[in-house]
């Protein structure tokens, strides 16, 4: 029994030694005295997909505030890793990190490829306000894009911001920007907050009026309609009395009809006198046919069985009448 307990103790101790050897920190680093009364600042973990330099710089700012030692920095920074970054940390060779500087360089060397590229001013042109997007939501998206720029020109950014606004939903705000010409994004955002407050105030007034109209009783509605009708009738009577007594309506339409002057009848237009032809029409047709100014006529409308089959017209290129008689007939 005692022998079995000794073997179990040796096995546990050997497992602990193996687990200790699996850590990436060297014995020299782990021999550093542990700090007491540590204070840790909570912030988001890093999964390997975001910008590693941003995460590292933020962590170092917190570490410098609390004056962490190298061992505390390494252990605390390792606890902020998750996902792919945590898998990479578990694959680090054991006893290979001797200081926080080594850990920092190894981290950047492995994950710096995931750093976001800095954007330029032309990226702001792609941030357009959608048709059903509110002004506040659009400003938030625009601010996020501005924060990612490497260099910012305030005046040009204001012009892009004004151009990317929706011309219908923000018509009043666009006019205000053109009139005031703000020189900074902060001034443009201040005008936007003022515009949003005024719009919300107008919407609340309209909503209160609508609720008041819905709550109005039917008796009150009918009485208000009667009052309006009475006012209109009273106004019509006053106008009628001021203009004098109107003529009686009986026989008024017949009197007006008799007073109308009859319209003069238009004389029919006389047919123009055409110059007589000195050549047969068939010869003239052969000469003008195929010229640029020649236009073929419309096809005959009469059915073929009702037309004379022995007569042929070169102008219509169909049977029914001759070419000489074509222009003297109504070819239909």
Please, which residues have CB within 8 angstroms of residue 110's CB and are 6 or more apart in sequence? 88
Residue 16 has pLDDT above 60, yes or no: no
285 CB burial (10 A radius; 0-12, 13-18, 19+): middle
Residue-wise pLDDT for 156-201, tens only, equals: 888 888 888 888 888 888 888 888 888 888 888 888 888 888 887 7
Distance CA 134, CA 255 (A): 66
Tell me what pLDDT residue 116 has.
Answer: 55
Chain-centroid distance of CA 128 in Å reads 6
Report residue 220's pLDDT band, with 50, 70 and 90 as the boundaries. Answer: low
> Per-residue pLDDT averaged across 97-117, rounded?
80
Give 320's strand partners.
308
> For the domain bounded by 121-212, which CATH number is listed?
1.10.1200
Tell me what pLDDT residue 213 has.
Answer: 59
Tell me what pLDDT residue 302 has.
Answer: 82
Report residue 217's pLDDT band, with 50, 70 and 90 as the boundaries. Answer: low
Distance CA 12, CA 8 (A): 6
111 CB burial (10 A radius; 0-12, 13-18, 19+): buried
Residue 237 has pLDDT above 70, yes or no: no
Report residue 3's pLDDT band, with 50, 70 and 90 as the boundaries. Answer: low
Tell me what pLDDT residue 332 has.
Answer: 47
H or E segment at 181?
A: none
Tell me what pLDDT residue 28 has.
Answer: 87
What is the reported pTM?
0.37
Tell me what pLDDT residue 19 has.
Answer: 43
Distance CA 239, CA 184 (A): 60
**Distances from the Cα of 162 to the Cα of 177, 178, 195, 332, angstroms:** 7, 8, 14, 67
Distance CA 207, CA 305 (A): 77
Q: Give residue for tokens 């929706």.
A: 166
Distance CA 206, CA 4 (A): 87
Residue-wise pLDDT for 271-282, tens only, equals: 777 777 788 878
For the chain, domain boundaries = 21-114, 121-212, 298-332
Average pLDDT over all residues of the chain: 76
């Amino acid at each position: 029994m005692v022998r079995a307990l000794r073997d179990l103790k040796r096995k546990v101790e050997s497992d602990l030694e193996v687990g200790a050897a699996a850590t990436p920190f060297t014995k020299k680093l782990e021999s550093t005295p542990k700090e007491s009364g540590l204070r840790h600042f909570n912030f988001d973990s890093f999964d390997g997909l975001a910008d590693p330099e941003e995460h590292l710089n933020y962590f170092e700012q917190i570490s410098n505030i609390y004056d962490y030692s190298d061992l505390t920095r390494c252990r605390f920074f390792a606890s902020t890793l998750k996902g792919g970054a945590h898998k990479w940390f578990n694959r680090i060779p054991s006893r290979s990190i001797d200081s926080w500087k080594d850990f920092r360089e190894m981290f950047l060397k492995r994950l710096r490829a995931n750093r976001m590229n800095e954007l330029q001013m032309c990226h702001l042109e792609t941030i357009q306000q959608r048709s059903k997007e509110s002004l506040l939501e659009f400003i938030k998206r625009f601010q996020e894009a501005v924060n990612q720029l490497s260099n910012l020109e305030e005046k040009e950014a204001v012009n892009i911001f004004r151009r990317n606004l929706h011309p219908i939903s923000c018509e009043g705000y666009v006019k205000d920007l053109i009139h005031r010409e703000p020189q900074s994004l902060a001034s443009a955002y201040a005008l936007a907050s003022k515009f949003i407050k005024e719009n919300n105030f107008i919407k609340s007034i309209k909503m209160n009026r609508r609720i008041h109209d819905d709550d109005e009783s039917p008796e009150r509605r009918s009485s208000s309609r009667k009052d309006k009708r009475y006012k209109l009738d009273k106004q019509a009577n006053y106008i009628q009395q001021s203009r004098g007594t109107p003529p009686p309506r009986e026989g008024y339409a017949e009197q007006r009809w008799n007073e109308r002057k009859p319209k003069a009848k238009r004389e029919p237009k006389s047919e123009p006198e055409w110059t007589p032809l000195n050549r047969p029409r068939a010869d003239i047709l052969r000469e003008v046919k195929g010229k640029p100014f020649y236009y073929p006529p419309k096809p005959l409308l009469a059915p073929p069985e009702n037309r004379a089959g022995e007569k042929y017209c070169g102008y219509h290129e169909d049977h029914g009448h001759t070419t000489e008689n074509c222009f003297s007939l109504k070819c239909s």
